[in-house]
Amino acid sequence: MKVNIGVVIAAAGQGKRMGGSVKKQFIELGGKPVLLHTLSLFIGLEHVKEIIVVTAEEDMECTQELLRGYRGVRVIPGGAERQDSVYLGLKALRSVEYVMIHDSARPFLTRPTLLKLIEALRAKRAAILAVPVKDTIKRTDAEGIVVDTPPRKSLWAVQTPQAFALSDIIRAHERAREEGFIGTDDASLLERMGQTVHIVEGEYTNIKLTTPEDLVFGEAILERRKETGDDTSRTRI
């Protein structure tokens, strides 16, 4: 079954934990800005019909300049919170039935994993990438005292993209806006409406660049792929 998919790339954050004067989507890795690495994951995919990059108002001009020449990519200003920015991106999509929502600061995903996510989206309407938690997790109270230790086999670290039927996720966002609810991710907005969200196992290298230490890991990932020739992010689907 053929599906028409839009992509919303959230790039409106301030990136305060990264430090420095350059926002993380514009930091260069391997000689190329992070945002371009991320965008290249989706450019040329058979099912992707349009891409919306949502950025801060003050970054509109430089983002548009950076993406000049990329067909099918539009840049729009975001809102006060990530959830607001994603909603604006969803509403800007014109002619697709499904959407993948992705963080601009996750440039290391491979296309084979994107293919798995798309297949799950076709069958399930709501699917997210996640990896099993490796560490033991403790839940604490407000004073930092351990309350319990959830069984690790039931815990997953959630990533992006998150993929949904467009009408479903817009409806979930609109209800959240009406009720003043801010979720920790987009999937949580559907979960609170009772809709089933399915997990597709992702990749531990699909890290989000948040702190300066993450840049070190990111350079290592790129260098390793260069050495092995395993540049699977460019594999055509």
19: pLDDT confidence band, cut at 50, 70 and 90?
low
**To the nearest whole number, what is the mean pLDDT of the chain?**
92
- Calpha distance 167→133 (Å, rounded): 31
- Calpha distance 58→190 (Å, rounded): 31
* Phi/psi at 177 (5° precision): -65, -45
In the structure encoding, which two tokens stand for residue 83, read together?
């959830």
DSSP letter at 233?
G
Kindly give the pairing relationship between strand 198-201 and strand 126-132: parallel
Task: Write the pLDDT tens digit of every residue in 145-159.
Answer: 999 999 999 999 999
Nearest to 202 by CA among 173, 161, 168: 161
Task: Write the pLDDT tens digit of every residue in 162-219.
Answer: 999 999 999 999 999 999 999 999 999 999 999 999 999 999 999 999 888 999 999 9
Quick one: CATH architecture of 5-230?
Alpha-Beta Complex (3.90)
235: pLDDT confidence band, cut at 50, 70 and 90?
very low
**Which pTM value belongs to this model?**
0.92
Task: Write the pLDDT tens digit of every residue in 28-37.
Answer: 998 899 999 9
- Calpha distance 213→232 (Å, rounded): 24
CA–chain centroid gap for 227, Å, is 26
